[in-house]
Structure 1
Amino acid sequence: MSSLVFSSLVFSIVELNRSISMKINKVAVLGSGVMGCGIAAHLANAGVPSLLLDIVPPEFTEADAKAGLTKDSKEFRNKFALNALNNVLPKQKPSPLFDASVLKLITPGNFDDDMAKLAECDWVIEVVVERLDIKQKVFANVEKHVRPGTIISSNTSGIKLADMIEGRGADFAKHFIITHFFNPVRYMKLVEIVSCDKTRPEVVTFMAEYLEDKLGKGVVYAKDTPSFIANRIGIYGFMAIMHTAIVKGLTVEAVDKITGPATGKPKSATFRTGDLVGLDTLAHVSNNNYAMLPNDECRDAFKLPAIVTTLVDKKWLGDKTGGGFYKKTKGADGSKVILAVDLKTGEYREQGKVRYDSLGAAKNAETAGDRIKAMVGSTDEAGVFAWETLRDVAIYSANRVPEIADDIVNIDNAMKWGFNWDLGPFEVMDAIGVQAFAERAQKDGKALAPIITSVLKEGEGSFYKTVSGVRYYFDPTSKKYLPVKLRPTSLVIQTLRAQNKVLKSNSGASVIDLGDGVVNVEFHTKMNAIDGDIGEMLNVAIDLVESSPVYKGIVVSNDAPNFSVGANLMLLWLESQQKNWDSIIKLVKGFQDVCMRLKYSKKPVVAAPAGMA
C-alpha cells in the first residue's frame, strides 16, 4: 500500500471518528445584542452552558467612573454582555427564559480577553452586526482559537456564506454553516441552515438534529442566496402588499384586517408586524434585496415607498420608538387610543371602521384554507385585494424553486415557522385549487411559474397529496410525488388515523394509540371547545390506561391550530335558555371530575398545548 493511499485512509478514519463523536457540551455566542443574548438564553433553557462575548466598550464614561469602575475592571470590559444578562434578558417580554435560574449557565466576557476560551467550546455562533467586513474580522480571530473540528456558524440574515469564509482555512470551511434563528428566539420555530460544497455533510446533519431535538427548532435548508427563504419571500410579500395598498388607496387598518387571520396570517398581519420588527430593519432587508437581486423579475417591489422613507427619517420605527405605522396615545378623556399613519401624507389619524362582506364570510369559515377561499372568492374591495396579493406572493414563491430551495416543503415550512403563516404559498394554491388559481392568474395577465405548469401537466393538479396517512409533495425535477420527510421522533395524528390507530371516538374527541404504550386524546369540536363528549373520551382514556399493564400514560394533544378555546359557552347558554339546570350541573361537575382524575391518575398524563389554550 502506498504512503499516499495509507495517509488518505488514516485521514478518512479520523474524519469518520470525528463525525461519530460530534457533540455540543458548550457554546460560544459572539455578540450580545437582541439576537445574541436570545440565542444564549435559549441554549440555557435547554441546559446548555455558553460564553456570551462582545466588544470592550470603546470609551470609558463618567458614569463608569462614578460606579467605581476602571478601564481594567471586568465589569467595564464585559459591560455589554453583563447588560444583556442583568438588564435585557430578565426584563424582556415575552420572557426569553424558562426560569431566571438558567442565567447562571451564561458566562459573560469580551473579544479581547476571552477568545482563548473558544477552545473549550464545541460550537461557536457569530451574531455580530450585519457587515461583511466585521464578520470576516471576527472569523479570522475565531480561527486562531478554536480546536480543529469545532462547528462554527453565523446567524446572518442574508450575507452570503461564500463571502464569509473567504480567506479561512480548509478545516474552518468544512465546519462552517449558517444557522439563521428568528426573533424572539425562544418562541419562533424557524432556523434556516445554509451550507456550501465545502461543508462536511455530517456537520449539516448533526446540526439539524441538534437544533430540532435539543433546541426544539424547525429546520429548513436554504440556498446561499440573498435573504435565504423566509426573508426573501416575506419581505417581498410585505412590500408588494404595501405598494398595492398605496395604489388602491387602502388604509393601514383595512390592510391589516384583510392580511391577518382572514387570509391565513397572524393577527399582527402586515403593518402591525412591521412595527414589531422595526421599520429600520424592514428597510435594511428590503434595500439589501434590491441591491443584491439585479435579475429578480420583481426587483422593483423591494423599492421603499415614500411613506417608509418618511417614517424612517423621522425615527418613527415602530414599537421600539413608540410609533411606526401605528402610534399609541391618549384621548381627551385619558383613554388609550391607537392612531394609524396615513400612507399618503405620513401623518397620524384616528382609525376608521373596517367592514367588508368578505371578512364576515371568512370569519365564519373554520380552516385557514376555507377562509382564504372565502376571501379570494369575493368580489368586494377586500376580496380583490386579498386575491391580488396572495396571487403575487404565490407566483413569486413558485419562481424561487430551485433558486432559494430545492423543494416546496422547505419554502412552505419557512413561511409557517418564520412568519407564522397558517399555510405556505404552495399550500395556499392547493387550498384555492391549482387549476382555478392558474386560470384566474392567466386571465389577470400573469405568467405562471414553471412549477405551476408542471404540477398541472405532469402532476395530479395539486402540490401535496395524502395517501394512507402519508403526505407527499410534488418534486419538479423528477415530476413525481415524494414523501414529506419527518423526523423519526415526529408523530402526525392524521397519519395515525389513516393507520387505524383510533381506539375509540365520538363527535368531540378521539382516543388514539401513539405506540410505545401511550394513548393520545385528540379534541375535534369546533375550535376544540370543551363539551361533554371531550369529557367522555378523557374518561375512556383514563379507564383504559389505568386498567391495562400495556399502557403507560396519556398525552392530551392535537394537530389543530388551537389546543382549546375553553368551555363551549354557546352550549351552556342554550341549556340555560331552556332552563336545563340539571344538564348544566352535570356538564360542569363531569368536567371537574375528569380533571381531578387526570391530576391524580395512577399513570402519567401530559398535556401538550399549542396555539390558543
Structure 2
Amino acid sequence: MKYVIKSIAVIGSGTMGAGIAAIAAEKNLQVVLLDTDSEIAIKAKKKILDPKYRMLSNIEKGNNIYVGNIRDDLIKIKDCDWICEAVVEKLDIKKQIFSSIEKFRNKNSIVSSNTSGIPLRAITEDLSEDFKKNICITHFFNPVSIMKLCELIPGTTTEEGIIETLSNFLREEFDKGVVFGKDTVNFIGNRIGCYFMLRGLHEGKKARMNGIKIDEIDAILSKPFGLPPTGLYGLIDLIGLDIMYSVGNNLKDNLPTGDLGKDFVNLPEKELSLYNKGQLGRKTGGGFYRINKDTSGEKIKEVFDLELEEWKKIQKFNYDKDRNIFNKNTKISDFAWEVIGSTLLYAADLVPEISNDILNVDRAMKWGFAWEKGPFEMLDDFDPYNILDICENKNIHIPTMLKVLETSGEKKFYNENNEFLNINGEYEPIY
C-alpha cells in the first residue's frame, strides 16, 4: 500500500513532542498537538511561537498547529496521516495511549512512538496484529530542531511501505539523517553512547585514583578522538545525572545476558551521591561543572572534586590526536583504551544485533552524538589489525565485525571505492 503524509498528530507536548510539532508546522504541514490537559498543549504552542526559542521562521506558521487534550480531541487523529506518540518514557502510559489510538485512528495511518529505549514489542504486545503492521519507532534526538539523527525501528510485522514512506518523508521534509535499527534496548545511538558514558564513569573513578582529574579526563575524551569538547563529565552534565540513573535502570532490566554493558549500569558511589543530593548537571545549576563568580564579579568555570567534595577552578589541558595512543604504556593511554577502546569493541560486537550494517552504526554516532567519525571509521584510523593484536595480547574477546574483517582478508571497514564491509565480509556501496 502507498502511504502519503500531509498531516500529523503529535500526542505529548513536552520537549520532544513540541519539537516534532514545530518542525512539521515549519514545513507547512497540518499538526494536531495533544496532551493530557489543553492548557499544557497551549503552553507548549506558546513556547513554539516564542521567537527566543527559534522554533519557527515565521510566527504565522503557528497557525498550522491545533492544540487540544487527549480526552476530548483524540478523535481528530482520524484525519491525520502520521500519528507520533511522544509522551513520558513510562511503558504503562505508552500502552494506554496506543490502546486509545487504535480506537480513533484512520486504518491507513502510520503510527510511531518517539521512545528513546523502550522496546516496540513491549509497547505493542496487547494490540491487534492488524494495528501492529502500521507501527514503528521514530526516535528523534533532542533538540529536535538541531540534531540530525532520527532512528527508524520497525517491529517484526511492520509493513515495508511504512518504513519506506517515513524514511523518505523524514529525509525530504524534516531534513533528518535516518538510520535503520532493530527493536533492541536503546536501539543504536543510545546503546553505544550510554555504554561509553557509563563505562567512562566507572573507569573515571580509577583514573582519579591515578591522579587524572575530571577536567583532564574530559580533555582526553574529546579532541584526541574527535568527540565533542564536553568529553565525558561535561556531556553527562548536559544530559543530567537523573537521566543517566534512569537509563542505567532500563539497561539493567533489558540488556541481554552476557552483554558487556551489564557491569556498568549502576552509577559509581560518588556519582550516586551527587544524584541523591540533586546535583544533577546544568539543569540544577551545576553537576560536575558550574559557572560561578569570583570576588570581582567575573564569571569563572569550576569543576567539582568528587573526592574532596569541593569546587575548584578548572585547569586547561591540551591533548592532540594520536593514532598510536593505544600502544603506549602510560596511565593516559591505559585509561583511553578502557573507555574509547572498549566502546569501539562494544560497537563492533553489536552488528548485526542492533543494525544490519556498520554504516547505520557510524551514522548514528555522528548524527546523534556529534562524533567526527563513527566507531568503524575510528577503528580504521587506529588500524583494525593493530586493535586485533591488542585484543589478543590482552586476551580480550574478538568482536563479531573484527572477526568478519580478519576472515575476509580485507584491511579496512571502508575502502577507497566508497564502499563498506558488510556482515558477510564483502564490500558494498555506501547508500
The verdict on a shared fold, with TM-score over 0.5 as the criterion, is: yes
Cα deviations across residues 155-214 of structure 1 (Å, max 9, x unaligned)? 001111111112222332111000000000011111111112211111111111111111
Query: How far did 1:328 drift?
Result: 1.4
C-alpha contact 1:317 1:324 (8 A) present in aligned 2: yes
| Residue of structure 2 aligned with 1:39, choices 20, 39, 42 | 20
Q: Structure 1: how far apart are the matches of 2:322 and 2:80?
A: 48
What pairs up with 1:226-237 in 2 under 5 angstroms?
226-237=185-196
Residue range with higher mean Cα deviation, 244-253 or 181-190: 244-253
Structure 2 CA distance for partners of 1:333 and 1:107, relative to 1, 3 Å? same
Q: Counterpart in 2 of 1:28?
A: 9
Q: Counterpart in 2 of 1:68?
A: none
Letter in 1 for 2:159: R
| Residue of structure 2 aligned with 1:90, choices 34, 37, 50 | 50
Q: Counterpart in 2 of 1:148?
A: 107
| Residue of structure 1 aligned with 2:419, choices 472, 476, 500 | 472
| Residue of structure 2 aligned with 1:309, choices 272, 282, 286 | 272
Q: Does 1:444 align with 2:407?
A: no
Q: Which one has a bigger Cα radius of gyration? A: 1
What pairs up with 1:424-573 in 2 under 5 angstroms?
424-467=374-417, 471-476=418-423, 478-485=424-431
Query: How far did 1:380 drift?
Result: 4.8
Letter in 1 for 2:429: P
Unpaired runs of at least 5, structure 1: 1-18, 57-77, 363-370, 486-613
Structure 2 CA distance for partners of 1:305 and 1:97, relative to 1, 3 Å? farther
Q: Counterpart in 1 of 2:345?
A: 395
| Residue of structure 2 aligned with 1:80, choices 40, 44, 53 | 40
Q: Structure 2: how far apart are the matches of 1:335 and 1:88?
A: 34
Q: Structure 2: how far apart are the matches of 1:430 and 1:264?
A: 14
SS of alignment partner, residue 370 of structure 2: coil
Letter in 2 for 1:82: I
Q: Structure 1: how far apart are the matches of 2:116 and 2:256?
A: 19
Q: Structure 2: how far apart are the matches of 1:24 and 1:346?
A: 53
C-alpha contact 2:48 2:56 (8 A) present in aligned 1: no
Structure 2 CA distance for partners of 1:97 and 1:270, relative to 1, 3 Å? farther
Structure 2 CA distance for partners of 1:336 and 1:397, relative to 1, 3 Å? same
Q: Counterpart in 1 of 2:368?
A: 418
SS of alignment partner, residue 158 of structure 1: coil
Q: Structure 2: how far apart are the matches of 1:89 and 1:244?
A: 44
Q: Structure 2: how far apart are the matches of 1:399 and 1:171?
A: 34
Q: Structure 2: how far apart are the matches of 1:313 and 1:221?
A: 37
SS of alignment partner, residue 19 of structure 2: helix
Query: How far did 1:89 drift?
Result: 5.8
Query: How far did 1:446 drift?
Result: 1.9
Cα deviations across residues 547-603 of structure 1 (Å, max 9, x unaligned)? xxxxxxxxxxxxxxxxxxxxxxxxxxxxxxxxxxxxxxxxxxxxxxxxxxxxxxxxx
SS of alignment partner, residue 286 of structure 1: helix
SS of alignment partner, residue 381 of structure 2: helix
Q: Counterpart in 2 of 1:252?
A: 214
| Residue of structure 1 aligned with 2:122, choices 163, 177, 183 | 163
Q: Counterpart in 2 of 1:354?
A: 317
Q: Counterpart in 2 of 1:497?
A: none
C-alpha contact 1:246 1:344 (8 A) present in aligned 2: no
SS of alignment partner, residue 416 of structure 2: strand
Higher relative contact order at CA 8 Å, sep ≥6: structure 1 or structure 2?
Answer: 2
Q: Counterpart in 2 of 1:321?
A: 284
Q: Does 1:270 align with 2:223?
A: no
SS of alignment partner, residue 291 of structure 2: strand
| Residue of structure 1 aligned with 2:36, choices 44, 55, 59 | 55
Provide the identity percentage: 35
C-alpha contact 1:263 1:375 (8 A) present in aligned 2: no
SS of alignment partner, residue 161 of structure 2: helix
Query: How far did 1:282 drift?
Result: 1.7
Letter in 1 for 2:187: F
C-alpha contact 1:54 1:110 (8 A) present in aligned 2: yes
Query: How far did 1:132 drift?
Result: 1.1
Query: How far did 1:455 drift?
Result: 0.3
Query: How far did 1:378 drift?
Result: 5.5
Structure 2 CA distance for partners of 1:102 and 1:261, relative to 1, 3 Å? farther
Letter in 1 for 2:420: Y
What pairs up with 1:159-308 in 2 under 5 angstroms?
159-249=118-208, 250-295=212-257, 296-308=259-271
Q: Structure 1: how far apart are the matches of 2:261 and 2:127?
A: 35
Structure 2 CA distance for partners of 1:286 and 1:96, relative to 1, 3 Å? farther
| Residue of structure 2 aligned with 1:342, choices 302, 305, 324 | 305
C-alpha contact 2:199 2:339 (8 A) present in aligned 1: yes
Aligned length: 427
Query: How far did 1:345 drift?
Result: 4.2
Letter in 2 for 1:233: I
C-alpha contact 2:350 2:400 (8 A) present in aligned 1: no
Q: Structure 2: how far apart are the matches of 1:262 and 1:294?
A: 32
Q: Does 1:139 align with 2:98?
A: yes
SS of alignment partner, residue 298 of structure 1: helix
Q: Structure 1: how far apart are the matches of 2:396 and 2:126?
A: 44
Query: How far did 1:438 drift?
Result: 1.3
SS of alignment partner, residue 162 of structure 2: helix
Letter in 1 for 2:15: V
Query: How far did 1:43 drift?
Result: 1.3
Q: Structure 1: how far apart are the matches of 2:430 and 2:309?
A: 46
Q: Structure 2: how far apart are the matches of 1:92 and 1:151?
A: 33
Query: How far did 1:343 drift?
Result: 3.0
Structure 2 CA distance for partners of 1:372 and 1:413, relative to 1, 3 Å? farther
**What is the TM-score with the length of structure 1 in the denominator?**
0.67
Query: How far did 1:246 drift?
Result: 1.0
Q: Structure 1: how far apart are the matches of 2:157 and 2:138?
A: 16
